[in-house]
Amino acid sequence: MLPNQITAWKAHLVEAASGLFGSGGAASHPSPAIDVKTLHAKIGELTLENDFLSGALRCSGLAGFDQHGG
C-alpha cells in the first residue's frame, strides 16, 4: 500500500467517523420504537417452546444426539 493511500483513507475515516459513531448519526437514523412488553412476551413464548422441545427430546432418547456428528 502506498502511504498516500493510507493517509487518504485515514482522513476519510476521521471525517466520516463522527457521523457513524457520534451524535450526528443518531439524528439522521432515529432508533425504532421498541415495545418492551411485546419483546418480553416473545421471549417467554420462545422459552416455553424450547423447554417443551428439550423435554420431548429427553423423552424420545435423542437428548444426547449431536447434529454435527461429533
63 and 57 Cβ atoms separated by less than 8 Å:
yes
Alpha-carbon span 39 to 16, nearest angstrom = 33
| C-alpha cell read off for 59 | 423423552
For the stretch 8-62, pLDDT in tens is 888 888 888 777 776 554 555 667 788 999 999 999 999 999 999 998 888 888 7
Query: Hunting for cell 475515516 — which residue is that?
Result: 13
Domain residue ranges of the chain, discontinuous segments joined by +: 34-60
CA dihedral 28, 32, 33, 36 (to 10 degrees): -140
